[in-house]
Amino acid sequence: MNKTQLKKIKETVLKQENLVFDQLNKSQKADIFKFNDTYKQFLDQSKTEREAARQIIKAAEAKGFVNIDTLPAKKPPSTKKVYKIFQGRCVALAVLGKAPLVAGANIIASHIDSPRLDLKQNPLYEDLSMGLMKTHYYGGIRKYHWLALPLALHGTIITSTGNTIDVTIGEHPDDPVFTVTDLLPHLAGKIQASKKLSEAFEGEKLNLIAGSLPLGNDREKNRFKLGVLNLLFETYGIAEEDFVSAEIEAVPAEKARDVGFDRSMVGSYGQDDRVCAYTSLEAILDLTSPDKTAIALFFDKEEIGSEGSSGAKSSFLEDLVSDLLFISGQKTDNRSLRKTLIHSSCLSADVNAAMDPDFKEVHEALNAAKLGFGICMTKFTGVAGKSGSSDASAEFVGKIRRIFNKNKIVWQTGELGKIDQGGGGTVAKFLAKYGMNVLDCGPAILSMHSPFEVSSKADVYMTYLGYKAFYEDSE
Ligand code: MN
Ligand code: MN
């Protein structure tokens, strides 16, 4: 066998692994950087699920989307783009297709909540000469990540009279920030360094410094807590009891940044899963007249198991689909709703873990996702023997693969770590219960769930192109 023959055989039988940057021409490479500049702005403006929901709706309205809940029973024929918001934390966008909705929709489902520290309902106390605030962590955090870091507070307070007050403190360069203190190495030996990592950092010690100016003289009890509360009353008109009906999240105060000399990566809090939210948002905003109805879902509560009325386990999708049938003048009976859902196709848009050069041992190299190799298809998630995973069908993976190849989307496949190393899940199984085909699909990132997650700009852009190709497909 000569060299040419061998080369031909290799090209025919071997699976290619393509680096996005090798596959693109100069102008496409420039597009990658342009796209990521607006992505970073989205991250900075969307540090909580409520803020992300607001940004999504603002972008949708600018492109002519209208609130589905304001439409009459039979919408004006020109209305093709609609959105729905639920509880301010869960959003859907839809572009009506040429085919009737019961033929099924193309759905992309991401989540807009991220791990963080929530203020407790009775947060304020004082100790020594400081006012402090108790937190309860939300989602899977590594507790030590949140120490000795500037944190901003974002949230919503419902006052005793029912007023809503939105607060953001710590994002403007002139704003103060908050922080959870850590122990100096000199004294950390016994209570941190010699302990197991899982025991060295306690959730009840994730308390934020809130102030140190006392109110009144030294005979006053709780004068540091009083100092903080008095300031809050003067600034926002809120009292201690108002924290009971508040959702205030402590998040990293840092902005999204370029990473590397070559600026080829994005470092930021909250990329899980606002990277998929942003890329699917941009993909659906680009659509004008798809064959099938396109739906982008942006769920809340994924990081705590998709629970609650704004999570993927809720009836939000059913409610949306029955609204879509209603405004399209189609039958809205239960059977039509079921048929629409069962005929739909869904990409569960979430991140996978990219192989880390320093922690290769938790991955199985042949099946691990790598930074820069494009959008990652994850056939199954789960733990141990794929437990808790919806495991996409070969037929559906085949369809997505065909769409990606046809549209020159650079893709890879990935498993979340090697067997029995750990695992995780996404919203996939909560959509699969309707009978629709679902495949996990999104970029792979480094330092997932940390205050500074790292993504490849090339993967972010390829994810956007991949989602767009999925929406535009009529197969
Ligand atoms: Mn996620
Ligand atoms: Mn996550």
DSSP codes joined into one string, 191-218: IIITS-HHHHS-GGG--EEEE----S-T
Q: How many other CB atoms are found less than 10 A from the CB of residue 111? A: 28
Domain match, 245 and 123 both: yes
Task: Determine contact, residues 444/370, Cβ cutoff 8 Å.
Answer: yes
Tell me the CA–centroid distance for residue 256 and ligand 2, in Å: 18
Cα separation, 207 vs 127, whole angstroms: 11
75 falls within a domain: yes
Ligand found nearest the CA of 449: 2
**Structural domain total, the chain:** 2
- Ligand 1: centre distance to CA 281 (Å): 16
Indicate if 152 and 70 belong to the same structural domain: no
Which residues are paired to 268 by β-bridges?
453
CATH number where 362 lies: 3.40.630.10
Beta strand extents in 139-279 (DSSP E only)? 151-158, 164-169, 208-211, 246-252, 257-259, 265-268
**Both 416 and 369 in a single domain?**
yes
Estimate the crossing angle of helix 316-327 against helix 334-342, to 10 degrees: 110
Ligand (nearest to CA of 448): 2
CA 32 to ligand 1 centroid distance, Å: 23
CA of 234 to the centre of ligand 1 (A): 39
- Give the E-state strand segments of 96-191 in sequence order: 105-111, 116-127, 130-138, 151-158, 164-169
In a domain, 15, yes or no: yes
Q: Do 228 and 281 lie in a common domain?
A: no
Identify the nearest ligand to the CA of 273 by its number: 1
Tell me the C-alpha distance between 253 and 112, whole Å.
Answer: 18
Q: How far is the CA of 442 from the centre of ligand 2 (A)?
A: 12
User: Residue 474's pLDDT is what?
Assistant: 81
Give residue 350 CA to ligand 1 midpoint distance, Å: 5
Whether 335 and 373 share a structural domain: yes
Note the ligand closest to the C-alpha atom of 275.
1
pLDDT mean for each 10 residues of the chain (475 residues):
94 94 93 98 98 98 96 84 97 96 97 98 97 98 97 97 96 97 95 93 97 91 95 95 98 97 98 98 96 98 97 97 93 96 98 97 96 96 92 96 97 94 94 97 98 98 98 88
Please, what sign has the CA dihedral across residues 442, 446, 451, 452?
negative
Q: Where are the alpha helices (DSSP H) in 237-315?
A: 271-285
316 CA distance to ligand 2 middle (Å):
21
Size of the chain, expressed as the number of residues it contains: 475
Q: Supply the range of the domain harboring residue 383.
A: 6-114+269-472
The enclosing H or E element of 449 equals none
CB 354, CB 446: distance < 8 Å: yes
Q: For residues 406 and 474, what is the distance between their CA atoms, to the nearest angstrom?
A: 13
Count of Cβ atoms closer than 10 Å to residue 202 Cβ: 9
**CA-closest candidate to residue 255, choices 30, 463, 37:** 37
Query: Distance from the CA of 427 to the center of ligand 1, in angstroms?
Result: 8
335 and 424 assigned to the same domain: yes
Cα 98 to middle of ligand 1, angstroms:
32
| 127 shares a domain with 70 | no
Are residues 418 and 282 part of one domain? yes
**Side-by-side strand order, sheet with 453-456:** 257-259, 265-268, 453-456
User: Nearest to residue 386, comparing CAs of 330, 429, 352?
Assistant: 429
Q: Is 74 domain-assigned? A: yes
DSSP code for 416: S
The residues that bridge with 258 in the sheet, in sequence order, are 266
Task: Please tell me the predicted confidence (pLDDT) of residue 73.
Answer: 76
- Residue 470: name the closest of 250, 269, 290 by CA: 290
Rounded CA separation 183/15 (Å): 50
How remote is the CA of residue 449 from the centroid of ligand 1, in Å?
A: 9
Both 173 and 222 in one domain: the answer is yes
Q: Does the residue 448 lie in any domain? A: yes
Pair 207, 321 in one domain? no
Specify the pLDDT at position 74. 78
Interval between CA 243 and ligand 2 midpoint (Å): 27
Residue 143 main-chain phi, psi, to 5 deg: -55, -35
Tell me which of 189, 219, 252 is where a domain ends.
252
The reply to whether 333 falls in a domain is yes
| Residue closest to 354 by CA, chosen among 334, 321, 376, 336 | 376
Tell me 221's DSSP state. T
Calculate how far, in angstroms, residue 426's C-alpha sits from the geometric centre of ligand 1: 6
Considering the domain architecture, whether residues 86 and 132 belong to the same structural domain is answered as no
- For residue 331, CA distances in Å to 95, 290, 293 come to 19, 21, 16
Distance between CA 97 and CA 472 in Å, rounded?
A: 10
Residue 27 lies in a domain: yes
192 in a structural domain: yes
Select from 200, 222, 252 the last residue of a domain: 252
Which candidate, 299, 309, 336, places its Cα nearest to that of 321? 336
Inter-CA distances, 382 with 275, 391, 400, 423, Å: 21, 9, 21, 5
Evaluate whether residue 258 is within a structural domain. no
Confidence at residue 77, expressed as pLDDT on a 0 to 100 scale? 82
CATH number at residue 149: 2.30.250.10
Q: Quick one: 242 and 317 in the same domain?
A: no
Which of 193, 221, 252 marks a domain boundary? 252
| Residue 448 Ramachandran class (φ > 0 left, ψ -120 to 50 alpha, else beta) | beta
Give residue 50's Cα distance to chain centre. Answer: 12
Euclidean distance between CA atoms 89 and 415, whole angstroms: 30
